[in-house]
Amino acid sequence: MTHEYSICTHFWRQKIFLKFLILLLALVSPGLALAQNDDELLENFFRDNESASESDAQLFLENLEQWRDKPLNLNKINKEELLATYLLNDIQVENFMAYRERFGPFLSEHELQAIPGWELSDIRRILPFAKVKTGLDNRNTSLLRGFRKGDNELFLRWAHPSPPNYDPSDAEGKPNAWALRYRHNYDNRLRFGFTAESDAGEALFNGSNKHGFDFYSAHLFIQNWNRHIKALALGDFSARLGQGLLLQTGFAPGKSAETVSVARGGRKLNAYGAFGEAFFFRGVATTISVNKHIECTALYSNRRRDANVLLQDSMDVEFPDQIFSSLQTSGLHRTQSEIADEKQLHEQVGGLSASWIGKRGLITANALHIRYDKPWEPTFAPYRLYAFSGKSLTGMSLDYQYRWRNLFFFGETARSNNGGIAAVNGLLFSADRHVTLTAVHRSLGKEYQSIYGNPFAEVSGAANEQGLYLGADIRWVRRVQINLYADVWRHPWLRFGVDAPSNGKEFLARILWTKSRNFSVYALWQSETKQRNDDLEKPFGLVNAQRNRLRLHAIYKVVKPLEFRSRIEWTTYTIGQQAGSVGFVAYQEAVIKPLSSPISAAFRYAVFDTEDYDSRVYAFESDLFAAVSIPAFAGRGTRWYLNLHYRVNKWLKLDARFEETNTLQAVTDSGTTGRERIWKLQARLKI
């Protein structure tokens, strides 16, 4: 039986592979045309991040939509605003600011080609959202007018999973997900609105949510109010300090094929109007420019968090105190156990940041204090020996940025109140007009403690790692871009699933060929080796686990309304000397956008075959506006989806999505085979 299955699996893979290879070769031909669209920008934004957040996608796409309608002024834009587009890397932004400072305002978009490190592909990517404007700056207009003027949008989304990814008999609500949002935006300076959301299985206007939805959020955010107030946030907001050692709740770029996008920069404060229920603050924050050289940011948050609250395990007291063992970040409140954790913890966060800004850089002092109304007592395990416990945590840091000629230095050093130290330092180097190099060194002490820390590192959090990252972006040959990185690290202390100090290494290479604005194709190879527990040698034996992947991806347009996207990807996973497992996915996608029609559509059909969950393959999918879908393909089966967009008129847009996954064989005994369908409907009304 096993032998027969192996033969069937082999021929099934070969058949699928040959079909997709022939299709790719047939369509890779001269004379095709393509312009970069929001789906590509969104995929580049997440940079193969498997834990991508819908909150980040929502804010990113909303900003793109706003900038497309009212482009940014390249003659007035500052460094933080340009970084906030996530369309350029830090050295490109630094070169832009240095060029404008030296030669004055731009006279034409064609002048952008003279900026070192700016290729035609970069200019084409930024120009739909930013223009060279030589007229008067409309920011002289009173901001109070923005409460009456501006754009209003009402958004409603419904999704119905069938079957749901939980036991319906244990859920309080029905298998429908609802999301409602209102937003007002004026001149990229004023934004306010509210959101309401209920996940599938959560009660709606009954049970534990008698007053309506499960989650509510509201915000008011002002930018560039006047010469002194650069930002003001009331209600819900996200924040960043330095390189993320103390605080990073917004999008945090990590290792990716965008190999030189490693520095954290841009705005310290942002509006939060997404549906995620964990990583945001609720309160007030502001950034004030005292004078040309001094800038201060202050924030205060006061909210309730989901947590697993327990009674203290002690025989010495008659009435033990309450403690909590972990924060719950899923935002799900479907079952009685999930509802019992809802809003059980009171959290207060206060932060201060003061910057001295010079002509070539800045230096900033940061402080963050977090306090809970119950002590945090994680369940004991050896790898948690240095984890935070108690009611309050204070951290302080010093971060810097400095540009000298074609070098850009950045970094942050932080200390938690238990004495733990963490540091991240990096360098971006324009070795040539067409070559950018980067190096990032991190030394995150095992004793360092941070709850909202998320720096550039291999680990989640900001502790127990020492490593060195080297990256390169090479564009010597016209229309060819080569991205490379190598990363090596070690963990001085134990980790979950690793009962001894360990190490790892990772390498990536991508070659992108852009034949014209009509066609591009890239090949990507990545290899990652980590140590993990050896199940055959207990208790302290470690073994290398290696994951390799190879991808071929093409985007092309046959005619203006029709665009094709094709991908083939293999993954292998090997533990020690054992036989490795193999994963495979291939898909073909068609995007139809007739120029004279209010209807557009996207259809994808994918096949996948993986021998186990370790060899799973991820693939980014186009979804409804401001939604993210990055499923993990495991087992054997097929998946397809259809997205429909109907622009009814200038004020109303309707979207629909239907997706279906047919699993022919699961990879575990607990896995299920069969068919899973999800329907989604969405309406966006501009008032």
Instruction: Identify whether 163 is preceded by a cis peptide bond (ω within 30 of 0).
Output: yes
Asked if pLDDT for residue 69 goes beyond 60, the answer is: yes
User: At 178, which amino acid appears?
Assistant: W
Structure tokens belonging to residue 156: 């409603």
Asked if pLDDT for residue 469 goes beyond 80, the answer is: yes
- Averaged over 12-23, what is the pLDDT? 47
- Averaged over 103-109, what is the pLDDT? 89
User: At 120, which amino acid appears?
Assistant: L
Structure tokens belonging to residue 240: 């960043």
Asked if pLDDT for residue 357 goes beyond 70, the answer is: yes
Complete DSSP assignment for 259-322: TT-----S-SEEE--SS-SSS-EEEEEEEEE-SSSEEEEEEEEEEEE-EEEEE---SS-SSPPE
Q: What would you report as the CA-atom Rg of the chain, rounded to the nearest whole angstrom?
A: 26
Task: Report residue 39's pLDDT band, with 50, 70 and 90 as the boundaries.
Answer: low
Q: What is this structure's pTM?
A: 0.89
How many whole angstroms separate alpha carbon 603 and alpha carbon 591? 7
How many whole angstroms separate alpha carbon 510 and alpha carbon 257? 7
Most confident of 129-133, 158-162, 502-506: 502-506
Asked if pLDDT for residue 517 goes beyond 60, the answer is: yes
Which pLDDT belongs to residue 640? Answer: 96
- Averaged over 407-415, what is the pLDDT? 96
Task: Report residue 447's pLDDT band, with 50, 70 and 90 as the boundaries.
Answer: very high
Which pLDDT belongs to residue 463? Answer: 95
Contact 450, 246 (CB under 8 A): yes
**Which helix or strand (DSSP H or E) is residue 103 part of?**
helix 90-103
Asked if pLDDT for residue 398 goes beyond 90, the answer is: yes
Q: State whether residue 55 is helix, strand or coil.
A: helix
Task: Report residue 220's pLDDT band, with 50, 70 and 90 as the boundaries.
Answer: very high
- Averaged over 628-655, what is the pLDDT? 92
Say how far residue 156 (Cα) sits from the centre of its chain: 23
- Averaged over 54-81, what is the pLDDT? 81
pLDDT tens for 288-308 read 999 999 999 999 999 999 999
Contact 514, 520 (CB under 8 A): yes
Contact 610, 571 (CB under 8 A): yes
How many whole angstroms separate alpha carbon 408 and alpha carbon 290? 26
pLDDT over 70 for what percent of the chain? 88
Which pLDDT belongs to residue 628? Answer: 76
Asked if pLDDT for residue 25 goes beyond 50, the answer is: no
pLDDT tens for 229-260 read 999 999 999 999 999 999 998 777 788 888 99
Give me the count of residues in the chain.
687
How many whole angstroms separate alpha carbon 133 and alpha carbon 72? 9
pLDDT tens for 201-211 read 999 999 999 98
Question: Could you tell me which residue, 12 or 130, shows the higher pLDDT?
Answer: 130
Task: Report residue 658's pLDDT band, with 50, 70 and 90 as the boundaries.
Answer: very high
Asked if pLDDT for residue 16 goes beyond 80, the answer is: no
Asked if pLDDT for residue 2 goes beyond 50, the answer is: no
Which pLDDT belongs to residue 35? Answer: 38
Which pLDDT belongs to residue 11? Answer: 42
Q: Which residues contact 267 (CB under 8 A, 6 or more apart)?
A: 80, 81, 83, 84, 231, 240
Task: Report residue 65's pLDDT band, with 50, 70 and 90 as the boundaries.
Answer: confident
Which pLDDT belongs to residue 83? Answer: 87
pLDDT over 90 for what percent of the chain? 56
Which pLDDT belongs to residue 68? Answer: 85
User: At 376, which amino acid appears?
Assistant: W
Lowest mean pLDDT among 152-166, 182-196, 504-518: 152-166
Which pLDDT belongs to residue 4? Answer: 42
- Averaged over 137-146, what is the pLDDT? 69
Task: Report residue 579's pLDDT band, with 50, 70 and 90 as the boundaries.
Answer: confident
Asked if pLDDT for residue 311 goes beyond 90, the answer is: no
Which pLDDT belongs to residue 34? Answer: 35
Q: Is 299 exposed, middle or buried (0-12, 13-18, 19+ CB in 10 A)?
A: buried
Task: Report residue 571's pLDDT band, with 50, 70 and 90 as the boundaries.
Answer: very high
Task: Report residue 3's pLDDT band, with 50, 70 and 90 as the boundaries.
Answer: very low
Asked if pLDDT for residue 471 goes beyond 90, the answer is: yes
Asked if pLDDT for residue 566 goes beyond 50, the answer is: yes
Which has the closest alpha carbon to 484: 525, 445, 519, 515? Answer: 525
CB count in 10 Å sphere of residue 478: 9
Q: Is 48 exposed, middle or buried (0-12, 13-18, 19+ CB in 10 A)?
A: buried
Asked if pLDDT for residue 590 goes beyond 80, the answer is: yes
